[in-house]
Structure 1
Amino acid sequence: MKSKPDSFDRQAPEIASLRRELEELRLAKNGLKESEERLKSVVSRSPIPAFVISKDHRILYWNKALAQLTKIRAEDVIGTSQQWRAFYGKKRPCMADLLVSRAQEKISKWYTGKYTKSKLLDEAYEAIDFFPELGHQGKWLRFTAAIIRNESGELIGAIETLEDITRRKKAKEALLRAHKELEERVQERTAELAQANEALLTELMERHRTQKALKQTTDHLSLLLESLPIISYTRKANENFGITFVSSTIEEITGYPPRCFIEEENFWTDHIHPDDRPRILDELKAGQAKGTHRYSYRFRVMDDSYRWFSDYWRVVQLPAGSTNYIVGAWQDVTEDKRIRQEGELRLQQMIQTHKLTALGEVVAGVAHEINNPVSFIAYNVPILEEIWSAVETILSRSSARHPDWEKRGLSFEEVCRNMQEIIQAFKIGANRISRVVTSLKEFSRSDETAQKKLMSVPEVIAGALVIVGAQIRRTVSKIEQDIADDVLPVSGQFQKIEQVIANLLINAHQAIPAGRKGLITIRCRYIERLKAVVVDIEDNGKGIDRKIMDQIFDPFFTTRRDRDGTGLGLSISYGLIREHHGLISVLSRPGRGSRFSLYLPVDGETDISLYPAILCIDHNVKYLKELKANFVDAVIWRSEAQDKPEDILQFLIEHPEVDLIVSEVRLKGFTGWALLEKIHAKFPLLPVILYSADRKALVAPPQAKALPDYTLHKPFSIDKLQKIIHDVGRQQL
């Protein structure tokens, strides 16, 4: 009997565990029951028709709204799988059945073209269909079926909701019918209007035929005008000469549409070249008589270049009281002008070549004729010197105190000194004539077929000075030469480069006005980064007007036409430098002088790519970056305490493309005024702009020897600086 309690004690924990499991199962069932009750409550109270089926397709819930819609009571179908009875005449799956069966792929079979996957609910599908079994005439329903899962994610059933959209469908159909009726009425009314207009159309047919014939004629005429390489126009023959018509060909040639000429009164006049405008307007006003008139002028097109127009026009006289019109045609003759100018250039070059050839022969002959007596003089001068030496010794012994010296107002010492000076002058003159004769022979020698060979640019400069030195010294008081010692030889043709330098020297001396103390500076240096020798020829003459800077290298362009200028010198020089793959640039300041620079690659073959640049100097890196962002050609120099003005001068020597300096006054190593003085002494034509936030710093110190071109008080606008740079002008490179 005592063993029983022991057995019970051993089983007690197991019994307690079993009780807990039973209690948890009871609670789970109660929870499930509560969940089912909540689901039942939600479904039954919902105004939306709905039913719920279990995973074995039996109906769990059938709410009142659905019972009213289908006329089937809930108690008649709950617990059965006859949900199809409410919607179909024979047994078939509803959408909820397909979801419970996991047969989503069959939805397309039963609801072809009527369903879509729900965008709001996962594992749900929507459809619209007509159910003829519902009601007396059937109903249109929108229905949605979705899977129901428990907390563990297991499928436990499905719910399907339905919405009666029959009224909406019927309203839409009624609207479509009304729309159709309206269209029919409109068509009927249109037919009536068509009948009413038929008589009017008949009346207009004759007029239409006339207009058609006129249009065909006009179209043919327009086509003819558009196909011709001319621009037809009409304008009023009054004091304003307003343009009333321009053919569309104008846009192809100028880039401007016809409306610009018609709507803007002065558009045509404003785009005529300023040099041609007075002449054209005078001829237009004077040519109101009968007959055809013709003139040519330059017209500015959209890209700001100029095209040559040939203008033919005549006045059309209208009856008294009406405004007369000018009918005319413009023709673009730019290419004709270019071809004619090229022909004239070739002719002039041919004439020049013949002249130079003939001149070379004459020079060679003259040089030969001069060389003989010069050789005689050069040969006899040493003999004369030797004879005089002997005579001087004899005279010094016997005749130093001869009474005839005093009678003639001479002294023995004066005669000896004069005789020595005369003999020395003979020597110098004979040597100079020999050098000139040699240079003339070299200059007149034809070398068109000569091969390029290494040449010394300083020797080329010296040769050019021998040829034109005497001529330019007539107006030039001083010729300064700054020739570096490390200038490398250049591959090229000696005579051609000599011709270019001689021509630039002559131009420099001709640019110096009468009465001015002329100065020509010649610089020559080798620049390693360019692999080129650079020659500067700078004068302090009258400079070049900015308006003609773009034309100075054009053939036949000259400002000395009245003094036998041909306009070929710079054009030929440009061509000769390009033959050597070099560059020629010009920096000019009106009233202060000009600087022409030659860039000659040492190998004579590598093209030099170089563009004008602005040197910006400041200690403020942020401001330098701002300047760099606004000026793509800016080169920045950050000022440091160890900097000296000579460092920047050396930079300018090595970077001849810099044509403008923009600098802060208060630099770290020195002031902008000190830098300005150094720059002005070495490069007097380089423009300098000084700026500072301190107004006092912009006032020139008492000892200042140079003044900047402009001063700017910070902060200043970039637009203002751009305008100043535009006014100063840039180097043409």
Structure 2
Amino acid sequence: MSSFHDERTFERTAIALSELLDGHPVATFVIDSDHVITHWNKACEHLLGWATHEMVGTRQHWQAFYTKPRALLADLIVDNIDPATDRNFRDKYKASSLIDGAYEEEDFFPNIGAAGHWLQFTAAPLRGRDGQLVGAIQSLRDVTERRVAENALRRAHDNLEHTVRQRTAQLAEDIRQRQSAEEELRRRNIELTELNEQLSRTQQQLVQSDKLASIGQLAAGVAHEINNPIGYIFSNFGTLQSYLDSLFSMLDAYQQAEVAIVDPAVAARLRALREQVELEFLRTDIPTLMQESKEGIVRVRHIVQDLKDFSRVDSQQEWVWADLRQGIDSTLNIVANEIKYKADVVREYADIPDIECLPLQINQVAMNLLVNAAHAIGNSRGRIEVRTGCDGDDVWFSISDDGSGIAPENLGRIFDPFFTTKEVGKGTGLGLSLSYGIVQKHHGRIEVESALGKGTTFRVTLPRVRPPNEQKETPL
């Protein structure tokens, strides 16, 4: 009676196992202690192409994988053979970290499918209630896509290493070219400095002549000659900046890709190469050098533009309606670094209408007056007052400081070109003369009141509407 009960229990267990395996999406088969297949689920049929009725009850499970008989991991488990002693498995298998007594293996099987498949095996022992080995179960997964992806990634790593070497060499060449460009820029700056000094000496020789007209012609010619080399230097500088930005973007992409490199040797070589070229230092130092160089170029271009404005040529600005207060506030933001450490700025704006003007030029006037006010203040913190107001059909703004003031003997010369009381290298002497020319162009007037030791006030008065006879003229 007990034997009959055990047989019925085994039969029910076998049926339940068959139903479980047939519904399982992972290809799985089971062999008994005599290596006879007892279960071959539908996933096995689909993956390997061998039907259940062809395999169950046979010992031919090897046919699904090999062209001639050889043991699988499940066979080794049934025979209690350590895979480390089998020449077919010793270099491929590993013990399972999840199942006691189970083994895992991954191999390529060219006979499966049209182009072969990579399969991952997991085989585990099956034991009865008494703990005795009664068979083995083996599952298999198709890992072909992963293997193909790993091979592709390995090739990509090789290509990446080659590309990094090429790009690093290219970066070194670009840095060399940048250094060459900077050297050329320094040389040009020296030439420009010498040219400006020569221009100042020439001005001194023209003091007793019709200096405004003569210096205006000279300034136009010098500005033209300076503008040509500065133009292509600035253009090349912008292109160089774009190249460096692209190279840094590419380096960022390469650096982000390093985390996907599974080969420690490749990753180590990339780190060593990055340290060798001091990449992180270059990434911080190059932008600083570029910014400093660009500031120098921009300053030279501003001087050239001042010369052009002074000579009343090459102006393409349009007359528009603008709010003086908005322009003054923008200018204060631009020159904030010149003022914030020396003086407090007080704004006293009255309601004023918009005026028809060349806003950029009016802003230049405000900038020159604000910078001069800041320079006039000594070591003690001072005060700069900016006011606006109306006077009939005119609109005015004034800028006052409590600085050193202007000596009476210099008041008649402050609007002369190249006249300056500042130290050498701290002023061109063009600011007030250019401001005077701009105000005259707008049919306005600029007035100054100053007392030594008390401060200076500049007041600029402008008509609200552009004179009718100039409405259709092209701006100078």
- TM-score higher than 0.5: no
TM-score (normalised: structure 1)? 0.24
TM-score (normalised: structure 2)? 0.36
Q: Which has the larger Rg?
A: 1
